[in-house]
Structures are given as C-alpha cells and as structure tokens.
Structure 1
Amino acid sequence: MSVKHKVFANLYQDSVSLMQISAQINKLPGIEQASVVMGTETNLIQLRDAGLDNGCQAGPNDLIIAVRGEDEACDEALALAEQRLKSKPEESNSGGVCPPVLTSLEMAKETAEDANLALISVPGDYAAAEAIKALNLGMNVMLFSDNVSMAHEKQIKELAQEKHLLVMGPDCGTAIVNGMPLGFANVVKRGAIGVVAASGTGLQEVSCRIDQLGAGISQALGTGGHDLHEEIGGISMLFGVDALANDPETQVIVLISKPPARPVAERILQQAQKAGKPVVVNFLGADAQEFHTSGITFVHTLADAAEVAVALLNQKSIPASVAQISPADEKVLAAESVHLPAQRREIRGVFAGGTFCYEAQLLCKQQGFSASSNTPVKGNTQLSDIWHSQGNTIVDMGDDDFTNGRPHPMIDPTLRNQRIQEELSDPKTAVVLFDLVLGYGASMEPADELLEVIGQVREKLGAKNLPLLIAHVCGTEADPQVRSRQIDNLRQAGVLVAGCNAQAALWASYVARQQAEK
C-alpha cells in the first residue's frame, strides 16, 4: 500500500465541495481511503490519525489531497481530484469578459450592495472572524463551519444581537430562506409554516413531512446545535421566533431542539407565547409537563411536529401521535419476523442523521430497549468501542468519531454501508434500523451501494437467515434523488420502509420484543 499526497498552495474550496471530491475518489478501485481538506492544524492531525500523513507540509490556506491504496490507484486518484479542483463552471454569454474573482466579503458586498446573507464555510479556526466581518457589513450569517468555540459563538451572536441580525450556526447544515435551500436542505413547497431548529436533520424531517402532507415552508432557520446551551442563551432561536412572529407569510411556528437548558427553554417559550400565532414545540426527550406553558402545543416526535403544525394551519383537530403501532403494522412485522431464530434479539441502529439517532434511542428506550451509542441519550451507555456493537447499539455515523478525515455519510455512505453489512452478519442482530437522507449535497443514489451490500449478505446467509431491515427515507418527490424511487428500490430488496423516523424506531422495538418472547 502507498500513501501519497499533493498540496495546492493558497487554494480554497468549501467543505461540502471537498467532501464530494473525497467521496468520488474514495470509490476508485484500489483506493483504501482518501481525503481532500484544507491544511489547518486540526485537519493535519486528522490526516495523521487516519494514516494519510506521509510528511505532508501545508499551511491553513493550502489544500491537500491525501490518498492511501495501490500505487497506480493513488496516482489516478490524485489526478482525478486535481481535475475536479481545477474544473471551471460553464462559460456564460459575457462577451468574453470574465467577472473579477471575489477574494473577500467586502468585495462581494461591493459587487452586490443589496446582499444581506453570507454563507460561511471555512475551517473553524477562521470562521468566527469571517462571521464578524459579514455582520459588520450588515449581513445575516449562515455559518456552515464547525469546530468554532463556544466563546467565539457567543461573541458572534452577541454582535448579531446588537445589529439586529441573524446568525445560523456554527455547524448549521440546513436552512431554507425565502424558498432557497441552503446546505443539506430538501426541495419543499413554499407555504405558511415557519421552522426554527437547533438540529439539521430534525429540520429536514419536519420540513419534508410538512411537504408530504401538502403544506409548505415559509422559512426554515437553523441555529446550530449549541445555541440553546446556557452559555449561548438561545440567541438565534429567540431571533428566529421574533422574525417568524413578524413575518406575514408565516401562520404557524415550529421549534425543534434537543432538551435545552431550563432557563433558556423558559425564555424561548415566553417569547413564543408573544408570537400571536400557533406554536408547536418538540424539545426531543424533554418532559413537556415541566414547562406549564399555555398556548403552545408540545409534541413527542419530529413527525408529530409536522402533523400538528399542518393541522393547526388547516384549523383541524390535533391528530394522534405517530408514536404508536397500528394493528396492521403489527401483523406485517409479526409475519416478517417469524423466521428469525430466537438468538437474534438485538436492535442495531446505523444512522447518518444525528437527530434521527437521538430520536430512535429515545423511542427504543421508552419501549424498554436501552442501547449503547457513540452519542448516547440520558440513561443509555457510552459505546466503549465505536467500531463494534455491544448488545442493542444505535450509532450516529455522521458524528466526528466517524467523519474525521472522511466525508459525511450523507455524501458518501460507504462507511455506513460497511457498518450495516457487519450488523447483518452478526448472529445476534434481530433488526437493522437505518435512515436515508436525501436533498442537495447528499449522495445522488444513496440506496444503490447499500442494496449491493444487502444482496451479498443475503447470498451468503440465505434470505431466511437475514435480520429484518427497517428504514426511513427523509426527503421529497422534488429532491434530486426522488423519495419514491429510493423507497421502491429499498422495498424491492426486502427492506421495510416506515413513514417517518419515529415509526421506524417503534417497528424495530416491536420486532425486538417479539424476539425476546420466543
């Protein structure tokens, strides 16, 4: 095996583009691992930890291609990555006059004086400075970058507060602003429901479900996962609530977060009560009885948030929670699991979406199935070895534990698929629970390679010896991947596809309970 790299001095590209190039060259025959990153100190450490550092010398403004594999394959991968980096967009009819290259936010603002939103995706060490520049230029900020300290986040958001501007992030991966999808967003209908979420895939689940129910999104604003920590104080969510309250196109407001710090939650709920519009709240895993807030509808799951928001919009009665299994579901699940031998008892969850992993853990735990995880909910166990499951195990493959030096599984599902293959081959596994997340930036055919993996395991074990596979597909018909096509592909391979993440987790719990009673 060879390890090779190439450094491009003073060449910058955003992290999503780099992850997509990494994903492409990772799939080349003979390549064991590849990474395309900026040469920050953090990234250099990650390359070293991943075994991709062979004396690479680079600065934070330099771009690195690093590969490990067969010698000729490494050369091919380096050449392909360089070609992708140097490829230019199609020329427009500009009479041969090229527009100037914009090298700063100041130049961009001069070119487009009415621009009021900056999307920042630079290494975390430099993200705060760029966000502050954008705010001082009078622009709202979507900060895609992660690895920004809490102290810097607070500094950025307090400045935004002074200037009456919005900061989405750090680590804000999804937003929809005035109908424009940003980051890992889905193609949803415009409408009258506004969402503020401290969770990227939580926002995707709610916005997609609203679209599937025939309604639409006015605005979908991300806050970043740390916004509701006590140190930050919910600054971005409070701004979002106020903005949606004053937005004439928004008739219903939805708030999504993992359990906030209690004082922050109370502040947000007080602000929501003043909105003068119906507000739906899902603080995942929090006890709604603790808050005693009139005029706000608390819900149990992400899918419930969408269902209730649409009902309120249409002035209909509040629907029952999706967190239940119908007799028809029980009949199907019982028939599908009847062949499983008694020793197959364990739930194995393999998720690309961090909030889906979190919600699945909560629901399985409520059904009596505690689990180990690399990102455990309260009461669950920290997984001692993230690469190997122990008992019921539900992992977030998009967490830093798995993505250091690798593309996110929504972009390149290879590592996720390998984990599913291992879980299917484990004789203790009763059910493998997983998600497919569609939308801009995500893998164009996320089911294809997975179906090959399932086919290989089925051929080896036999169809009757295969654990059950239960999936949930987060997306819409208008997404580039087309949700119904992905669902059809999965079902043809024998995968049971639930209507939402919560339903999938309940199905998995039902199967595990049936096995425990054998």
Structure 2
Amino acid sequence: MGIGSRFYPNLYKDSVSLMTVSARVTSIPGIEAASVVMASATNVDNLAQAGLGHFEVRPNDLIIAVSGSQEACDEALAVADKLLSASPGDGGEETTAAPITSIQMAVAKDPALNLALISVPGDYAAAEAMKALRLGLDVMVFSDNVNPDAELALKEYARDNELMVMGPDCGTAIVNGIPLGFANVVRRGPIGVVGASGTGTQEVTVRIHQNGSGVSHALGTGGHDLADAIGGISMLHGLAALDSDPATAVIVLVSKPPSPAVAAKVLAAAQDSDKPVVVIFLGADPAAITRDGVYGAATLAQAADMAVELARGQQPGTSDFTVSPEIGSALTDLADAMSPRQRYVRGIFSGGTFCYEAQLIHQTHGITAHSNTPVAGNAALHDIRVSREHTIVDMGDDEFTRGRPHPMIDPSQRDCRVRDEIADPATAVVLFDVVLGYGSADDPTAELTSIISSARGDGSTVAFIGHVCGTDLDPQDRAHAVAGLQSAGVLVASSNAEAALWSATLLAALGGNR
C-alpha cells in the first residue's frame, strides 16, 4: 500500500471543482482513498484523521493526497496534476484580459452583478461573504464549517441591508431558473421554495416539475438557519422576497424541525403572507402547522403535491400515501420468498434529508433503526462501517466523506455498502436514493445496477427499493436511470416517502410470516 501527495502553492480552486477532481482520481483502479483540498487547518486535520498524511497549514496552497497501490498513486497524481493545471485558455482561444481575482474586481467590471457564490474553505468563507455583502450582493455560501457567530453576523448585516445570505452549507438553489450547487433542471413556474435542506429542496422542486408545474425560485438557507442562535433570518427573508415576487403564486417552506420559538416566528410570518404557504417541517404534526393560509404537509412529496394543487386554484388534499394492490402483491411475494433469517432494512442514502424522512416513516410503522444521524427515538450507530439490526445511514455525512468525495459525486462508496448489505444474511430490504442533477455523477447507477443484477442472479431474495430524485431535463435523465434500475429488479418509487412506505410494508409482511 502506498501513499502519495502533492502541493500546489498559491493555487485556489472552489469546492465543487475540488470534489470533481477528487471523484475523478478516486475512480482510478487501485486507489483506496483520495482527497483534493485547500490546506486549511480543518482540511489538514481531516487528512491526518483519514490516514492520508500530515501536512503543514498553508491556507493558500492546494493539496492532493492519495492512498492505494503505488502504481495507482502515481497515476492519480499525474491525472490530478493535469486537471488542476488546466487554464481557461487551454481550449485554444487567446486570452489577453487580466484574470478576475476578487469579488470587488468582478463588480467593478460588471456593476450589474447581484449574487456571489462563496465556495472556499469554511475558515475563510465568512470573510469573503462579508466582502460580497458590503458590495451590495446577495450571497450563497456553499461552504460548511462556518462559525455560528460569523453566520449570525453575516445574516444580521444582510437583513439590515435588505440582502439575503443563503447558507452557510447551502448546497442547493435555483435563482431565476439557474441551478446552483447540487440542483435539478426544472421548468419555470408559479411555485417558490425556501429550504433549509438541500436534498429536501431538490425533492420538492423535482416533484413540482413531475406534477406538471414549475418553480419560480428555490432559495436555500443552510442547515443552521432555523436554530435559536440564528432565528430563521434567511428563511424569513426568503419568504418575504417570494411574497413580493409577482412570478410566485404559492410558497413552500422546507426544513427539519426548527426550534419551537423559531417555528412560531416562521409560521406567524407565513400566516401574514398574501400568498398560500405550504410548510413541511419533517417530523412535525401537520395539524399543528396548519392555520389560515398555511398548509402543513407530512412528507416532502406531499408538500410539493399540495403546492401544485394550490397553484391550480384547487383545495389541497392531505391524504397519506397508500400502497397500490400491484405493489402490495409484489412486496408480499418478496416477503414469502425470504428465509427466516432475513429481518432487517438497510437504508443507504446520499441525501441527509432523505435518510431523515425514511427513519421517520419507518418509525410511524413501529420500526426503529440505528443511524449515524438518528432522529429522536432511534439509536446512534457507533461503528458506521457495520449495520446493526435495522440500519438507515446518511453516507453524505462528514463521517463518511472525510477524505472522500460526496456520494452524489462519486457513488462508489455507496455501491460498496450495498454489496456488503446484500452479503449479510439478515438483510431483507436494501433501501436507497439516487440523486440526479448538476453536481451529481454522470451515471450514478452504472455500478449499482450491476451489483443488484448479480445478487438476483445468485438466487438470493433481497428486496431492492429505490427512489430517483431527478427530472427528464437533468443531464443524467431520470427515465434512463429508472429504466436501468427496474431492469435490474429494483422497485422504483415515485418519491422518497413512498419508497420508505414500501420498505415498512414489506417488513410488516415479514413480521406476519414469522
């Protein structure tokens, strides 16, 4: 086993570019782990914890660190060098203009600019975001690991100057039809979204598109915005902005449960809106949310469905998902074919909110699970490498991605986990998501379908239940991904909530058979 590394002095690349290079390097046969990062204190510490070496903190430098066979490490360093050394002029066009090296230079060159996307190591993101705000720009902070005090200072400044901060840790947005970060291609339309969850926002916008409607804007807030320390500043600003937007007729608010005080503040603002507002606070009782002009939803998919109905001038339905007779029969047949040892669901998610929602839905059916990101009432999975009984994991969490690309960018770690769960004789259901769109892998199901087809070919009876978050307009094409999974024997649900319901239904059938 070899380890290799390389420094690039004073070379900056944004986070998405670095993750893309890291995914390309990781895909090289023989590479066990790879990381391409700026040499901030946090990143240097993460490299050490991942066993990729010890480095000095030199924040202006870029580091690539790899482990694997020596031949693979040498190839990986060469590939990374080529990718990182490419310049905008390498396409053959002459470039004579001076490069833009600061936000201030960009605004001076084009005063019409009004949004800055910050994607630098978290240690420096707040300073860059404040520079943008002082220049009068709204800001999307893709970066994570920003100090809560710094986040509050940014958002208070933005609020006082009628600007918006999306983030920190805002991975998804759609502004004027332009997808930012991890986002899907959806048609324009009358529904605006403000989301404190990236994949939650993706699920809602995708479902709106699939239902024939469209999205005016999808504004992210970051995952910490609705905590007491921040007070929902960005969600309140986003709500007000959509309320005054003539292109928006219906508003959807998306979040995991806020603190009670922040929830009360957000719901009061929603009730004061001139437009109908659908609210999904995952895990909260919809009845406790519903009031004049505000409609509580139980699931992400239901929130999208209600918004589409409201946009069409209809009274929204509130019924839960049900299992069709056809699917019910298929689930029963699978349960009947399983051995007595097969008892457990193994949920493997790249979307943190999908993992959260799946746990909640299983709980409503009496199924508690272990997780690295457990909801209230579920147990913590102390060794994330090994499933225990019912297990539902978020493989996009920091524990899994330290020193590795996110599974949306590089699904190989997820695919290995699926293979391991299939090999466990106690596994009854493998439940998973596939997230399409900008930022995600070009073909996130290629290896997965091969693994599942091989498992079914050896005579084992494991139920594979999946959900594809994407649209027909995405670069990967949802119809293509769904067809490939179905041909491998996967039951593909229309939403994450429906997939979790199918899983819980099959487990209930197993309980009745044992």
TM-aligned CA deviation for residue 266 of structure 1: 1.1
Equivalent residue, structure 1, for 2:73: 74
Equivalent residue, structure 1, for 2:24: 24
Distance in 1 of aligned mates of 2:49 and 2:43: 10
Distance in 2 of aligned mates of 1:418 and 1:208: 27
C-alpha contact (below 8 Å) 1:323/1:503 kept by paired residues: yes
Equivalent residue, structure 2, for 1:6: 6
Equivalent residue, structure 2, for 1:368: 366
Q: Which digits, 9 at most, give the CA deviation of each residue in 1:143-195, with x for residues without a partner?
A: 00000111111111001011110000000000000011000010000000000
Alignment of 1:222-233 (within 5 A): 222-233=220-231
Alignment of 1:394-409 (within 5 A): 394-409=392-407
Q: 2:432 aligns with which of 412, 417, 434?
A: 434
Is the aligned partner of 1:498 residue 2:493? Answer: yes
Equivalent residue, structure 2, for 1:315: 313
SS at match of 2:217: strand
Amino acid at match of 1:384: H
Distance in 1 of aligned mates of 2:323 and 2:398: 34
TM-aligned CA deviation for residue 347 of structure 1: 0.8
* Unaligned segments of structure 2, at least 5 residues: none
CA 97–397 in structure 1, closer or farther in 2 if over 3 Å, else same? closer
Amino acid at match of 1:505: A
Moved >4 Å (runs of 4+): 90-94
Amino acid at match of 2:503: A
SS at match of 2:18: helix
TM-aligned CA deviation for residue 92 of structure 1: 8.0
TM-aligned CA deviation for residue 140 of structure 1: 0.2
Q: Which digits, 9 at most, give the CA deviation of each residue in 1:306-359, with x for residues without a partner?
A: 101000111123235343223332122212332111221101100000000000
Q: Which digits, 9 at most, give the CA deviation of each residue in 1:444-470, with x for residues without a partner?
A: 1000011222234445xx23x231100
Equivalent residue, structure 2, for 1:515: 510
Amino acid at match of 2:113: A
Equivalent residue, structure 2, for 1:206: 204
C-alpha contact (below 8 Å) 1:322/1:502 kept by paired residues: no
Distance in 2 of aligned mates of 1:154 and 1:424: 45
TM-aligned CA deviation for residue 438 of structure 1: 0.2
TM-aligned CA deviation for residue 289 of structure 1: 3.6
Equivalent residue, structure 2, for 1:64: 63
TM-aligned CA deviation for residue 263 of structure 1: 1.2
TM-aligned CA deviation for residue 86 of structure 1: 1.4
SS at match of 2:224: coil
TM-score by length of 2: 0.97
Amino acid at match of 1:231: A
TM-aligned CA deviation for residue 111 of structure 1: 1.0
Distance in 2 of aligned mates of 1:92 and 1:41: 35
Distance in 1 of aligned mates of 2:168 and 2:334: 43
Distance in 2 of aligned mates of 1:336 and 1:290: 38
Distance in 1 of aligned mates of 2:90 and 2:79: 22
Distance in 2 of aligned mates of 1:415 and 1:288: 36
C-alpha contact (below 8 Å) 2:373/2:393 kept by paired residues: yes
SS at match of 1:517: helix
Share of identical aligned residues, percent?
Answer: 53
Is the aligned partner of 1:333 residue 2:345? Answer: no
Equivalent residue, structure 2, for 1:45: 45
Distance in 2 of aligned mates of 1:242 and 1:111: 31
Distance in 2 of aligned mates of 1:301 and 1:491: 24
Tell me how many residue pairs correspond in the alignment: 513
Is the aligned partner of 1:298 residue 2:293? Answer: no
CA 93–449 in structure 1, closer or farther in 2 if over 3 Å, else same? closer
Q: 2:415 aligns with which of 392, 414, 417?
A: 417
Is the aligned partner of 1:283 residue 2:278? Answer: no
Alignment RMSD (CA, Å)? 1.4
C-alpha contact (below 8 Å) 1:170/1:224 kept by paired residues: yes
Distance in 1 of aligned mates of 2:66 and 2:190: 47
TM-aligned CA deviation for residue 69 of structure 1: 1.4
TM-aligned CA deviation for residue 61 of structure 1: 1.0
Is the aligned partner of 1:485 residue 2:480? Answer: yes
CA 103–358 in structure 1, closer or farther in 2 if over 3 Å, else same? same
* Unaligned segments of structure 1, at least 5 residues: none
Is the aligned partner of 1:242 residue 2:240? Answer: yes
Q: Which digits, 9 at most, give the CA deviation of each residue in 1:2-50, with x for residues without a partner?
A: 1110000010101111111111111112211111111111111111111
Distance in 1 of aligned mates of 2:98 and 2:477: 37
Amino acid at match of 1:480: P
Distance in 2 of aligned mates of 1:241 and 1:52: 44
Amino acid at match of 2:511: A
Equivalent residue, structure 2, for 1:85: 84
Amino acid at match of 2:23: A
Distance in 2 of aligned mates of 1:225 and 1:52: 29
Equivalent residue, structure 2, for 1:453: 451
Distance in 2 of aligned mates of 1:105 and 1:450: 41
